[in-house]
């Protein structure tokens, strides 16, 4: 069994008896104690809009809230201002290039950072970053933690070796049970080394009660959607692994079945990956779905986007771990439809794993547009009251299992464990 850190409290660092020398984080009645404030070197390939980017920023906020210091090394991106606002120091370093020469250069740069800034721990959120962090860890003795935000493809032996950087640290964080099992199966990593620490959701921000009708109307107008039109919302970057093409095929099936008064909105940027976006436009043209598909790009007011949706879909064709969009949608009381690889049973409650009266959404086989279309028809056929009940259960589920306090406590407990003096 893989340990779930949100349910299991990890050992605390020694020395908590000295009030003057101890940093404490009081959460839910428990205390995570450190003999002194830590300095963490956080490695992220970029700071744009991906799960690793957001995870690195969340980690900065947790550390800073509890009196610790954070330094973020990355290629940079539009979220650098968020890192600075959270109180971390930003260092520009190429941690996205998988060329061994670039990784070696980055490793020596990280070694200097660890020594100059007296870093206590290195935390990597990506494979090239993990390789550089692993080498820097070996050169400095600073413990390495890695976080898996998704399941990486392993097409060949070289890809498997490249991915193995993510299991070379002292501890491996998986963002979901699904990812934890994948790590164990692929790399033979012991259960004691893997800890499940999911992302947390800002329940105050993603709350239907605080989203005004004006905001919802404004975003519907920007999409060209009438008030009585059902909205299928797909949130995430325009990447093949996200399965946008599967959704387009499912939408085509809905049209073929004679369904009307619905649109499908893709809310996400392509970050220069125009080849896949071009393929999507070709598919939209070939399936005659241009009248019901909207490529909206990045959306600033995501709470309003969820509020405007009837259902939120993820048709991922690769293991996605824990998608914030699916948690946010459930927090906003919206039913979800996910593929088998988009979310595990620890993220979405779906039949047959749970009775229908407990479900928060539906699960369909991966890369099956027929099944996805059938699931959407099923949800559309439900009354507003029934869909509302499914949505409310989703918010209750997210609030009970992805609360910020538990996740913060789990993260700090892990840091206390890996930085505890050996012997």
Where along the chain do its domains lie?
3-199+403-418, 208-401
The three-state secondary structure class of 6 is coil
Question: Quick one: CA torsion of 51, 270, 251, 350, rounded to 10 degrees?
Answer: 0
- List CB contacts of 195: < 8 A, sequence separation 6 or more: 2, 3, 4, 5, 10, 171, 172, 173, 174, 410, 414
pLDDT at 27: 42
Number of helical H runs and strand E runs in the chain: 14, 16
For domain 208-401, which architecture applies? 3-Layer(aba) Sandwich (3.40)
pLDDT at 28: 42
Handedness of CA 14, 18, 20, 25 (dihedral sign): positive
Q: What residues pair up with 148 in beta bridges, in sequence order?
A: 174
For residue 260, give Cα distances in angstroms to 156, 267, 287, 380: 45, 21, 16, 11
Multiple choice CATH, 3-199+403-418, 3.40.50.300, 3.40.50.2000, 3.20.20.140, 3.20.10.10 = 3.40.50.2000
For residue 374, give Cα distances in angstroms to 163, 253, 380: 36, 9, 10
Which residue is it, tokens 């996805």? 372
Yes or no: say if 246 and 367 are a contact pair by the CB < 8 Å rule: yes
Domains 3-199+403-418 and 208-401 belong to one CATH topology: yes
Q: Per-residue pLDDT tens, the chain, 423 aa: give them.
A: 454 543 333 333 333 333 333 344 444 445 567 888 999 999 999 888 777 888 899 999 999 999 999 999 999 888 899 999 999 999 999 999 999 999 999 999 999 999 999 999 999 999 999 999 999 999 999 999 999 988 888 878 888 899 999 999 999 999 988 899 999 999 999 988 999 998 888 899 999 999 999 999 999 999 999 989 999 999 988 989 999 999 999 999 999 999 989 999 999 888 666 789 999 999 999 999 999 999 998 899 999 999 999 999 999 998 887 888 999 999 999 999 999 998 888 899 999 999 999 999 999 999 999 999 999 999 999 999 999 999 999 999 999 888 888 899 999 999 999 998 876
Encoded tokens for 270: 């392509």
Q: Which residues of 119-147 are buried (b: 16+ CB within 10 A; e: fewer)?
A: bbbbbbbbbbbbbbbbbbbeebebbbbbb
User: Which DSSP helix (H) or strand (E) runs through 111?
Assistant: helix 100-117
Question: pTM score, two decimals?
Answer: 0.80
Handedness of CA 233, 237, 241, 245 (dihedral sign): positive
The three-state secondary structure class of 5 is coil
Handedness of CA 363, 167, 112, 119 (dihedral sign): positive
pLDDT at 22: 38
DSSP string, 373-421: HHHHHHHHHS-HHHHHHHHHHHHHHHHHHS-HHHHHHHHHHHHHHHTSP
Displacement of CA 364 from its chain's centroid (Å): 20
> Angle formed by the axes of helices 127-140 and 100-117, to 10°?
50
State phi, psi for 408 to the nearest 5 degrees. -65, -45
Neighbours of 310 (CB within 10 A): 18
Measure the CA–CA gap between 62 and 411, rounded to whole angstroms: 8
């Amino acid at each position: 069994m893989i340990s779930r850190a949100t349910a299991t409290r990890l050992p605390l660092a020694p020395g908590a008896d000295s009030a003057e020398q101890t940093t404490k984080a009081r959460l839910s009645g428990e205390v995570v104690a450190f003999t002194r404030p830590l300095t963490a070197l956080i490695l992220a390939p970029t700071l744009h809009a991906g799960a690793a980017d957001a995870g690195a920023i969340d980690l900065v906020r947790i550390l800073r809230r509890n009196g610790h210091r954070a330094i973020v090394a990355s290629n940079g991106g539009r979220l650098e201002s968020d890192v600075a606002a959270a109180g971390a120091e930003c260092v520009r370093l190429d941690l996205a290039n998988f060329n061994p020469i670039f990784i070696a250069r980055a490793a020596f740069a990280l070694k200097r950072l660890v020594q100059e800034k007296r870093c206590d721990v290195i935390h990597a959120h990506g494979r090239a970053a993990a390789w550089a962090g692993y080498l820097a860890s070996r050169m400095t003795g600073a413990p390495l933690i890695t976080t898996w935000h998704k399941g990486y493809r392993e097409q060949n032996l070289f890809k498997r070796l490249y991915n193995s950087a993510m299991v070379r640290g002292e501890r491996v964080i998986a963002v979901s049970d699904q990812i934890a099992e994948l790590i164990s199966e692929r790399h033979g990593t012991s259960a004691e080394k893997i800890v499940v620490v999911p992302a947390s959701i800002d329940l105050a921000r993603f709350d239907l009660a605080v989203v005004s009708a004006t905001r919802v109307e404004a975003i519907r107008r920007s999409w060209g959607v009438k008030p009585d039109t059902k909205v299928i919302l797909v949130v995430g970057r325009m990447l093949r692994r996200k399965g946008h093409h599967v959704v387009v095929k499912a939408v085509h099936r809905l049209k073929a079945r004679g369904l009307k008064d619905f649109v499908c909105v893709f809310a996400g940027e392509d970050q220069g990956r125009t080849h896949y976006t071009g393929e999507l436009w070709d598919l939209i043209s070939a399936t005659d779905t241009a009248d019901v598909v909207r490529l909206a790009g990045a959306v600033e007011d995501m709470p309003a986007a969820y509020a405007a949706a009837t259902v939120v879909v993820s048709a991922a064709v690769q293991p996605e771990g824990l998608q914030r969009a699916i948690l946010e949608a459930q927090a906003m009381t919206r039913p979800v439809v996910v593929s088998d690889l988009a979310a595990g049973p620890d993220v979405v409650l779906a039949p047959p794993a749970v009775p229908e009266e407990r479900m928060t959404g539906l699960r369909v086989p991966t890369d099956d547009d027929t099944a996805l279309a059938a699931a959407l028809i099923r949800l559309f056929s439900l009354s507003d009251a029934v869909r509302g009940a499914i949505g409310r259960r989703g918010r209750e589920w997210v609030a009970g299992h992805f609360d910020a306090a538990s996740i913060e406590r789990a993260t700090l407990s892990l840091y206390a464990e890996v930085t505890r003096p050996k012997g």
